[in-house]
Amino acid sequence: MRIIKFLLRKEFLQIFRNRAMLPILFVMPIIQLLVLSFAATYELKEVDFALIDMDQSRLSRELTAKFQATGYFKLELKTFDQSEAQEAMNAGNVKMILRIPSDFENNLSSGKQADLQLIIDAVDGSTAGLIQSYSSSILNDLSVSKLAELRIETPSQQIQQAKTINVISQNWYNPDLDYITYMVPGILVVLVSMIGVFLSGMNIVREYEIGTIEQLNVTPIRKYQFMIGKLLPFWVIGMFDLLIGLALARFGFQIPFLGSLVTILVVAGIYLVVLQSLGLLISTLTHTQQQAMFIAWFIMVIFILMGGLFTPIESMPQWAQNLTLTNPIAYFIKIMRMVLLKGAGWKEIQFMVYTLVAMGSGLLLISINRYKKTTA
Amino acid sequence: MNSFSGFVTKEFKQIYRDKRTLTVLFGMPIIMLVLFGFAIRNEVTNAQIGILDLSKDEVTRTLTQKLEASSSFQIRAYLESYEEVEGLFRKGDIKEVVVFEPDFKEKLIRDNKADIQIITDATDPNLANLVQSYTSNIIRDYVQELNETGDVQQAGLNPKVRMMYNPELRSVNLFVPGLIAVILMLISALMTSISITREKELGNMEILLVSPLKPYHIIIGKVLPYLVLSVVNVVTILVLARFVFQVPFQGSYFLFFTEAILFILTALALGVFISSAANNQQTAMMVSLAGLLLPTVLLSGFIFPVDSMPVPLQIVSHAIPAKWFLVIVRSIMLKGSEFILIWKETAILAGITLFFIALSLKNFKVRLQ
Amino acid sequence: MPELAIQTENLTRTFGDFTAVDNITFEVKQGEIFGFLGANGAGKTTAMRMLTGLLTPSSGKALVSGKDVYSEAEAIKKNIGYMSQKFSLYDDLTSEENIQFYGGIYGIPDKELAKKIDEVIESVGLGDVRKKLVRSLPLGWKQKLAFSISILHNPKIVFLDEPTGGVDPVTRRQFWEKIYEVSDQGITVFVTTHYMDEAEYCDRISIMVDGRMDAIGTPKELKENLDAVSIEDVFIQLARSAERGDG
């Protein structure tokens, strides 16, 4: 329709003329993608530790060396004073204390259990868990090799044996447990969401505040034409950003693209409409940009944090997992991951897509109804 | 002073009358804390797993039962063959398949050793790690039980692990301090920056500047209501954290509140700075979002450990006030640290605050805009 | 073409228990310049909103260009022009772009639109600055531009809401000359204003007080009825009895 053409032209002119807005629309998402992808990881890079070696034996030194040799553990403090080590942990200078008692080597070489103590800073439970895992496997390896040596050197000696169950782990789709592969699809979703929710809604409220809305209300522009004029430009920009993001993901981050790109784009288009409708709805609730923005932010932060991007949805209690059923971001993140990383097709994602369509239609209808051209 | 107190009164009234925003400003921290306290966790609850039991004997059944009994897992599928795994994963709900090798019980008795394979859907590496370690823990506990009945100690290295400050590895203990920072940043920086640019946009700023009010009067007047709001929020969050979530508080309340007020001032200073530089609300808002809030959530150590980030990002995180505040708050709350242990971080925060206040004043004076 | 541009009968609008417009009944003839006066808070803006389809009346009847404001609001909008106090031009578009936008909205076909753009630019005198953002234009030019845009599509009636606010006397004079031109072409001009001298330029005027229409007629008639020397006098006499007004 011709009217829509004129509305669109005006909107695009205004968007591109807004010097401050341009970097936000095009540059910021890219920067966010880069920063986020690299920042969002639980991998261990370096663990500073303190050593209390009461044994000072060959074995204890070998143990210490093994820890350092992994490249993960860095010896920061050597002391005999427990409280000094504790202070260092309190101050945040070390994350772990390795305490080797004085009969360490003796116990091991006589085929007995050799105790040692690991004190770990558990403020961050995930990291602590990882530190424990890594330490355990270092100790386990050392234990196994030492016991093997022992059997060879002193075959007569009784080595206490208990039962063990070997746990062999296999990680599918992401064998290196690479965080980037996992995060990037989700981050792409978030980026696009920001544009979707904020900008369309903000724009409408802005016209209110400036006063041009009255002028528009007096013209023959119909409700739906006005809405399309406000939504379409940002839909286009959102899709554009997504494409750039996907390109970066594929060629920059080497994310596997097992599934169909077309599927992703179609779902993305629907998803953007859902979010824009949400932004629209919010804009009908308030007349000031400040309020609109605040409400939008509030909702978005909740959706994002509960969307399974940073912490797994499976970790949530049942009621929270149920809430996730109303969270469009959660759906899209799941779809992205399933399609890109596992090669899922229409069959697996169709119900989620139907849900998104239902959400979008619902939100759109409600906001259009609420949005009255008459200003009373 | 009269004109100043009049101005401050107007600011308070304006905010107080804006019921919608007020609801969000007070309600939001509470809702966020409740949501994140209960829902944002790195613990595993009710993760859906599958069992491929190639042995089907007493031991494997016992182990399966133990897994089922654990609150971490829910067994959703019993597989008959290896081939089923892929289809199951692709559907997306099952996160792990536990495989018991054939003749499991015999191998354990005869060779003292048997194998369990844990196949995880590692598209979410974090979850994969967690699920794996929970499963391993259950298996390890079982092994210990087995061996205890025989009264035989395992030869070799035996680490005794002690988790300090947070023995149950509760992630809520990690997140709550971060939440305080995020909410304070949101309120102080965002609201201040928008509130000031709003006056600019509507043209009231000129009137203010022409009045007997000095620029710093205006800034303080704009900022004061949000300072009060923020302090109320901090108290609210703390009370909730203590009594609803049992987050420990080992250190001094006085120190905590002093540091909190310092951080609020930092956030406010940033908000004022953005508003002194931005020309309209939309810009102020987007810059606050992109430049303050997002980095605070992502790079400050709120969820993802700073130590895990690549070095360039670690350097960037030094510039983020929330990062320092998080160290301070976690130290006080979880480690019971005294000032002497956190003076460095405090000084940095103070420095950042002063820097931005100075910049803002400069901006304000130079531009009547 | 109907004889009457505007026809109302007991037009009322309430907000809760506050009556903004209280049973006003009046007519505006096609082609006349009708001045709609009243103190602040007297109900002028509300009345005008109802006539332009921005607000639904609480009760009463109103026909604009023969069309019912209740059921034919959309049709009315196609045939009226509007210029508000704030001028409502897009600051971040150029004069050209503003004309093009509003022209397109009102359905002016492309070729004709291009011609009109040139015409307006020339008549307002924006030739040198046509590609400059409206933001940079002085108030008087913005006003003229907004007015030209409001009549771009040859509406039958044009509603002007305090069009000359804040502009110097010379520019105001020029503006009213334009209003006369437009009126000569047969377009009805419905204008609200604070300036009493402008009231003299109108064919007929009405004065609203406390939501009621307390006077209506030619400026001459009004002055004679109240034995007043100027419209200002008339206004003061009527407004003095008002209960509402600037607080």
> What are the pLDDT tens digits along chain B (369 aa)?
677 777 788 778 877 777 777 777 788 788 888 887 787 777 787 889 999 999 899 989 999 999 999 888 989 999 999 899 888 888 878 899 999 999 998 888 888 788 899 999 888 888 888 888 889 888 888 887 877 765 566 677 778 888 888 888 888 888 888 888 888 887 777 777 767 777 776 667 766 766 777 777 777 877 888 888 889 889 998 898 889 888 889 889 999 999 999 999 998 888 888 877 777 777 777 777 777 777 888 889 888 888 888 888 899 899 899 999 999 999 999 988 888 888 999 999 999 999 998 888 887 766 544
Whether the predicted interface score ipTM is above 0.85: no
Overall average pLDDT of the C61-83 stretch: 89
What is the pLDDT of chain C when averaged over all its residues?
87
Q: Who among C53, C89, C92 is closest to A218 (CB)? A: C53
Confidence of residue A167 (pLDDT cuts 50, 70, 90): confident
C93 part of contact set with chain A, CB < 8 Å: yes
- Rounded CA-CA distance B150/B135 in Å is 24
3-state secondary structure of A172: strand
The number of angstroms, rounded, from the C-alpha of A370 to the middle of its chain's C-alpha atoms is 35
- Those residues whose C-beta lies under 8 Å from the C-beta of residue C207, and which sit 6 or more positions away, are C37, C38, C213, C214, C215, C216, C222, C234, C235, C238, C239
Overall average pLDDT of the A139-159 stretch: 78
- Among chain C residues, the shortest Cα distance to A218 is held by C77
Nearest to C189 by CA among C175, C201, C177, C179: C179
Interface contact flag, B92 A140, Cβ < 8 Å = no
- Rounded CA-CA distance B368/B200 in Å is 9
Q: What is the least distance, in Å, from the CA of C55 to any CA of chain A? A: 5
Question: Strands of B156-164's sheet, edge to edge?
Answer: A73-78, A47-53, A96-100, A113-121, B156-164
Interface contact flag, B32 A302, Cβ < 8 Å = yes
Which residues from A are below 8 Å from C156, CB to CB? none
Which residues from A are below 8 Å from C91, CB to CB? 210
Integer-rounded Cα Rg, in Å, for chain B is: 27
Q: What is the least distance, in Å, from the CA of A152 to any CA of chain B? A: 15
Q: What is the reported pLDDT for B262?
A: 93
- Among chain A residues, the shortest Cα distance to C158 is held by A218
Interface contact flag, A215 C84, Cβ < 8 Å = yes
- Those residues whose C-beta lies under 8 Å from the C-beta of residue A188, and which sit 6 or more positions away, are A33, A242, A245, A246, A249, A336
Integer-rounded Cα Rg, in Å, for chain C is: 18
Phi and psi, residue B97, nearest 5°? -120, 125
- Rounded CA-CA distance A226/A230 in Å is 6
In this model, does residue C247 exceed pLDDT 60?
Answer: no
C touches B (3+ CB pairs < 8 Å)?
A: no
Report which of residues A209 and C34 the model is more confident about: C34
Q: What is the reported pLDDT for B290?
A: 74
Q: Are B129 and A129 in contact (CB under 8 A)?
A: yes
Q: Who among A24, A41, A163 is closest to B146 (CB)? A: A163
Interface contact flag, B164 A122, Cβ < 8 Å = yes
C155 part of contact set with chain A, CB < 8 Å: no
Overall average pLDDT of the A171-178 stretch: 81
Confidence of residue C2 (pLDDT cuts 50, 70, 90): low
The chains found to touch C (3+ Cβ pairs under 8 angstroms) are A
In this model, does residue C41 exceed pLDDT 80?
Answer: no
In this model, does residue A66 exceed pLDDT 90?
Answer: yes
A108 part of contact set with chain C, CB < 8 Å: no
Interface contact flag, A212 C49, Cβ < 8 Å = no
Q: What is the reported pLDDT for B152?
A: 60
In this model, does residue C191 exceed pLDDT 90?
Answer: yes
Strands C204-209 and C33-38: parallel
Q: What is the reported pLDDT for A160?
A: 63
Indicate the pTM of the whole model: 0.77
Range in A56-65, A282-291, B340-349 with the lowest mean pLDDT: A282-291
Q: What is the reported pLDDT for A375?
A: 44
Q: What is the 3-state secondary structure (H, E, C) of A79-92?
A: CCCHHHHHHHHHCC
Which residues from A are below 8 Å from B164, CB to CB? 89, 119-122
Q: How many CB atoms lie within 10 A of CB A155?
A: 8
**What are the structure tokens assigned to A157, written together?**
């000696």
The chains found to touch A (3+ Cβ pairs under 8 angstroms) are B, C
Overall average pLDDT of the A190-208 stretch: 78
- Among chain A residues, the shortest Cα distance to B203 is held by A210
Q: What is the reported pLDDT for A376?
A: 37
Q: What is the reported pLDDT for B183?
A: 82
| Amino acid residing at A112 | K
In this model, does residue A120 exceed pLDDT 90?
Answer: yes
A244 part of contact set with chain C, CB < 8 Å: no
The chains found to touch B (3+ Cβ pairs under 8 angstroms) are A
Interface contact flag, A218 C90, Cβ < 8 Å = no
- Rounded CA-CA distance C35/C23 in Å is 19
Q: What is the reported pLDDT for C245?
A: 53
Which residues from B are below 8 Å from A237, CB to CB? none
- Those residues whose C-beta lies under 8 Å from the C-beta of residue B161, and which sit 6 or more positions away, are A117, A118, A119, A120, A132, A135
Q: What is the reported pLDDT for B274?
A: 84
A325 part of contact set with chain C, CB < 8 Å: no
- Among chain C residues, the shortest Cα distance to A18 is held by C92
In this model, does residue A159 exceed pLDDT 70?
Answer: no
Q: Are A121 and A103 in contact (CB under 8 A)?
A: no
Interface contact flag, B303 A311, Cβ < 8 Å = yes
Q: What is the reported pLDDT for B369?
A: 45
Q: What is the reported pLDDT for A50?
A: 94
Exposed/middle/buried for residue B5 (C-beta within 10 Å: 0-12, 13-18, 19+): exposed
C100 part of contact set with chain A, CB < 8 Å: yes
- Rounded CA-CA distance B341/B251 in Å is 12
Report which of residues A216 and C80 the model is more confident about: C80
